[in-house]
Amino acid sequence: MTEEPRHGLARGATSYGDQDFALYMRRGFAKSMGYSTGMLKKPVVGIVNTSSGFNNCHRHFPELAEAVKRGVLAAGGLPIDFPTISLCEPFIAPCTMYYRNLMAMETEEMIRAQPMDAVVMMGGCDKSVPAQIMAAASARVPAVELIGGPMMSGKYEGERLTACTDCRRFWANFRAGRIDRAKIDAVEGKLATTAGSCGVMGTASTMACVAEALGMTLPGTATIPAVHADRLRAAEATGALAMELARTRLTPERIITARSVENTLRVLMAIGGSTNAVIHLAAIAGRLGLKVDLKRLNALSDSTPVLVNLKPTGEHYMEDFFAAGGLGAVLRELKPLLHLDCVDVTGRTLEQRLADEPAFVDRAVVRAFAQPFQPEGGIVALFGSLAPRGAILKRSAADPRLFEGEGRAFVFTSLADMAARVDRPDLEVRPDDILVLQNAGPKSGSGMPEAGYLPIPGKLAKAGVKDMVRISDARMSGTAYGTIVLHVTPEAAVGGPLALVQTGDRIRLSVKERRLDLLVEEREIERRRASLKPAAPGPARGYDRLYMEHVLQADEGVDFDFLR
Task: Identify the CA nearest to 362 among candidates 331, 403, 321.
Answer: 321
Closest distance of CB 129 from ligand FES, Å: 10
Q: Which of residues 427-446 bind ligand FES (CB under 6 A)?
A: none
Q: What strands lie across the sheet with 44-49, from one edge to the other?
A: 78-83, 44-49, 118-123, 143-147
Q: Which of residues 278-297 bind ligand FES (CB under 6 A)?
A: none
Residue selected from 13, 45, 204, 292 as contacting ligand FES according to rule CB under 6 A: 204
Kindly state the helix (H) or strand (E) to which residue 545 belongs, with its residue range.
helix 542-550
Q: Which of residues 148-187 bind ligand FES (CB under 6 A)?
A: 163-164
Given a contact cutoff of 8 angstroms between Cβ atoms, the answer to whether 361 and 320 are in contact is no
Residue selected from 108, 117, 126, 505 as contacting ligand FES according to rule CB under 6 A: 126
| Nearer to ligand FES among residue 96 and residue 446 (C-beta) | 96
User: How many residues of this chain interact with ligand FES, rule: CB under 6 A?
Assistant: 12
Residue selected from 125, 243, 387, 509 as contacting ligand FES according to rule CB under 6 A: 125
Q: Find all residues with CB under 8 Å of 445, minimum gap 6, and list them.
A: 94, 439, 493, 548
Tell me if 198 contacts ligand FES by CB under 6 A: yes
Q: Which stretch binds ligand FES (CB under 6 A): 33-41, 87-95, 217-225, 355-363?
A: 87-95
Closest distance of CB 125 from ligand FES, Å: 3
Q: Which stretch binds ligand FES (CB under 6 A): 194-202, 265-273, 444-452, 534-542?
A: 194-202
A 10 A CB-CB count for 295 gives 10
3-class state of residue 443 by DSSP: coil
Residue selected from 197, 298, 396, 446 as contacting ligand FES according to rule CB under 6 A: 197
Closest distance of CB 363 from ligand FES, Å: 27
Q: Which stretch binds ligand FES (CB under 6 A): 86-94, 207-215, 218-226, 372-380?
A: 86-94
Given a contact cutoff of 8 angstroms between Cβ atoms, the answer to whether 147 and 123 are in contact is yes
Residue selected from 9, 57, 242, 551 as contacting ligand FES according to rule CB under 6 A: 57
Task: Identify the CA nearest to 448 among candidates 552, 295, 562.
Answer: 552
3-class state of residue 510 by DSSP: strand
Closest distance of CB 90 from ligand FES, Å: 6
Exposed e or buried b for every residue in 207-242, given b needs 16+ CB within 10 A? bbbbbbbbbbbbbbbbbbbbbbeebbebbbbbbbbb
Q: Which stretch binds ligand FES (CB under 6 A): 195-203, 220-228, 280-288, 464-472?
A: 195-203
Given a contact cutoff of 8 angstroms between Cβ atoms, the answer to whether 456 and 466 are in contact is yes
Q: How far is CA 98 from the centre of its chain?
A: 13
Tell me if 222 contacts ligand FES by CB under 6 A: no
Binding site for ligand FES (CB under 6 A): 57, 88-90, 125-126, 163-164, 197-198, 202, 204
